[in-house]
Amino acid sequence: MNNPLKYAQIIKIQAKNLGFDFCGIAKAEFLEEEAPKLDNWLNKNYQGQMTYMSNHFDKRLDPTKLVDGAKTVVSLIYNYYPQKTLPENPEDYKLAKYAYGQDYHFVIRDKLRMLLKLLQEQIGDFGGRAFVDSAPIMERQWAKKSGLGWLGKNSLLLNRQMGSFFFLAELIIDLEVEPDTPLLKDYCGTCTKCIDACPTEAIVQSGVVDGSKCISYFTIELKDQIPSEFKGKFENWVFGCDICQDVCPWNRFSKPHLEPAFNPHPDLENMNKRDWEEITEETFNRIFKKSAVKRAKYTGFLRNIIFQGK
């Protein structure tokens, strides 16, 4: 069987069966339009200390350099919007919603590997690799190219049915599959709520974020002390930040996820500001044993909390 249209149908059915909310398909080719944008972003040092963003420039733009003979990029959306936003008291410290439960890298990678296995069983032998924020691949650009949404002013992918509280993942395969039509319209219009709401003014222009000013960067990626000029601007965020997503009108369409692994650790719901300020390494390791928050490490997490202090 050599039927690109049939392959697309099979991929989308299997993806849905594994819990992915949306699946889009694009031809694997060099992202010509993105090359100058990425080059300009890097030249302005918007990556800050994220030096890995400067590595593998060609690979970021060309999937055939990631997978030999790549013909297709399959982009997938997986919801993480929680049943309820934590904490209930707005004065307490906050974590980005994606970090409430278990580390998404492992949860989604397992599903991707299962998807690849099922597709190979159903279609036949073909090669490919699974990616979950784990390689130099421009996820949002590929998702846009495959018709899953458009890039908002905060640079995140926005989907008309569910907003932006979701993870992106990819399969790059050496199988020719019928591509979807890119979504060419920008549905943000004249809205600037995300730009106006960012307390560190990290969104420097529509679709361009200075990563070195982003609260997520400061609380996760930055290993040094947080610059003093940002004191009092974090609005109690101690790991990541959801401000530009929380104010986005498209996120009124967000619906709670159905993934048990993303439910918060029981202790997380009971933590108040004082508990966080007195957190021990033992408690940190217990609550965040399987969480993405481990990336900040106990010392980094404590630094973030102390920085918020009076």
Both tokens of residue 246? 């929380």
pLDDT tens digits along 215-259: 999 999 999 999 999 999 999 999 999 999 999 999 999 999 999
- Percent of the residues in the chain that have a pLDDT greater than 70, as a whole number: 99
Element (H, E) at 208: strand 208-209
Catalytic residue among 62, 110, 133, 246: 133
Domain locations along the chain:
1-310
User: How far does CA 111 lie from the centroid of its chain?
Assistant: 16
Q: How confident is the model at residue 50 (pLDDT cuts 50, 70, 90)?
A: confident
Contact 106, 193 (CB under 8 A): no
- Which residues are CB-contacts of 193 (< 8 A; sequence separation ≥ 6)? 247, 248, 249
Number of H helices, E strands in the chain: 11, 10
Distance CA(172)–CA(127), nearest Å, equals 9
Say what the pLDDT of residue 49 is. 85
**For range 59-75, the mean pLDDT:** 96
pLDDT tens digits along 218-228: 999 999 999 99
Say what the pLDDT of residue 286 is. 96
| Residue 141 vs residues 118, 186, 213: alpha-carbon distances, Å | 26, 14, 22
Active site annotation includes 133: yes
On the CB side of 44, CA atoms within 13 Å amount to 14
Say what the pLDDT of residue 250 is. 98
Q: Taking 90 as the threshold, does the pLDDT of residue 188 lie above it?
A: yes
User: How far does CA 52 lie from the centroid of its chain?
Assistant: 16
**For range 276-297, the mean pLDDT:** 96
Contact 287, 114 (CB under 8 A): no
On the CB side of 236, CA atoms within 13 Å amount to 13
Residue 101 burial (CB count, 10 A): 22
Say what the pLDDT of residue 1 is. 64
Q: Taking 70 as the threshold, does the pLDDT of residue 70 lie above it?
A: yes
Element (H, E) at 131: strand 128-131
Contact 257, 82 (CB under 8 A): yes
Distance CA(137)–CA(73), nearest Å, equals 10
The larger pLDDT score, comparing residue 310 to residue 157, is at: 157
Beta bridge partners of 209: 203
pLDDT tens digits along 123-143: 999 999 999 987 889 999 999
DSSP strands (E only) in 150-193: 150-151, 157-158, 166-173
pLDDT tens digits along 74-123: 999 999 999 999 999 989 999 999 999 999 999 999 999 999 999 999 99
pLDDT, mean over the chain: 96
Q: Taking 70 as the threshold, does the pLDDT of residue 310 lie above it?
A: no
Distance CA(79)–CA(125), nearest Å, equals 30
pTM for the model: 0.96
